[in-house]
Amino acid sequence: MHLPRSLAAAASACCLALLALAAASPASASGTAVPDRPLRQLAADDHLRVGTAVDMSALTDDAAYRRLAGSEFSTVTPENVMKWEAIEPRQGEYDYAAADRLVDFARKHGQKVRGHVLVWHNQLPSWLTSGDFSAGRLREILHRHITDTVRHFKGRVWQWDVVNEAFNEDGTLRDSIWLRELGPGYIADAFRWAHEADPHALLFYNDYNTEWTGPKSDAVHDLVGRLRDEGVPIDGVGFQGHLGIQYGLPTDMAANFARFDKLGLATAVTEADVRMPLPADAGKLATQAEGYRLLLDACLRTRHCISFTVWGFTDTYSWVPGTFPGEGAANLYDEDYRPKPAYRTLQSELAGRARSGGAE
């Protein structure tokens, strides 16, 4: 497999180690010093917003986490506190407090908010999954949930992940409570309802493993193109960007993003992280840095890619080890908040690029 400018393809472990050390300092590939500026400032030069998912417990309790979340990023995404089980744990009883604190934090730090997520098959409240609802009643419940949530945050959320992970790897629709009870039309309905609740919010379809071309990415492309043709108010597609170095890195992302751009849709990298088998070493960190670079490069090459979001920025609070045993070290900072080669690579990539258009 050929990776353009790939650090992973270096001839020896020695060379990889030297490359990793070079990436750890703020210098470009040409050796020119890169201004050690926050990612949000460098991204603004490229008309791009750069963001992070936020763990609200860490934001509350960890001063170092709070400082970097506010200084490095121009958007924030709630990791969990806008999911259905968090905001309506009991039917009809809403708890927006934690999500409101994040929105307030964003306002104070000049950040925009990506709302995550309105319709998903996971992290649903038990009263919903165990309830014996008719299809008509379930449709009413979903309509109310979308309407109430979007209205609560109206004018304060920039982008919404409206429908999340609706496809299987083979391009078929995922077997979920929504598909089984409401049929595939629930996807279009969700976008219509969200738009009615806040006509100014940008509405995204979001999924993983769509960075690669293949059946899943093709199915998403077909879906969103059809929705656009039918006049459904969908504004963009989110490519999550959860990569693992042991599986290789996708090298056709820019072309893949471009075909969605041609549909007249915005695009965004929404949940980037690059995990590795533990323990980490210089070679793995160099390959990780290349994974982040490829994701950012695809976004910067796409005219209407408007934001690049990492799914957490420090290994201290990463979701990866709990989900993929034996894997981790997926984020831009290590557990002691030291920037890794991946962070310096993003700095260099942003500082060395210039484009027109992008985030508003």
List active site positions. 165, 271
Phi first, then psi, for residue 300 (nearest 5°) are -65, -25
Q: Name residue, tokens 């089984």.
A: 180
Going by C-alpha positions, the residue among 37, 12, 94 that lies closest to residue 343 is 37
Check: CB of residue 130 under 8 Å from CB of residue 90: no
Phi-psi region of 42 (alpha: psi -120 to 50; beta: other; left: phi over 0): alpha
Going by C-alpha positions, the residue among 140, 153, 143, 139 that lies closest to residue 202 is 153
E strand residue ranges, 208-291? 236-239, 242-244, 266-277
Distance CA 66, CA 74 (A): 14
Angle at 126 between CA 125 and CA 129, to 5 degrees: 95
Distance CA 136, CA 303 (A): 41
Angle at 303 between CA 301 and CA 306, to 5 degrees: 100
Q: Give CA 336 to chain center in angstroms.
A: 23
Q: How far is CA 72 from CA 15, 111, 339, in A?
A: 30, 10, 12
Going by C-alpha positions, the residue among 312, 308, 253 that lies closest to residue 39 is 308
Phi first, then psi, for residue 115 (nearest 5°) are -80, 130
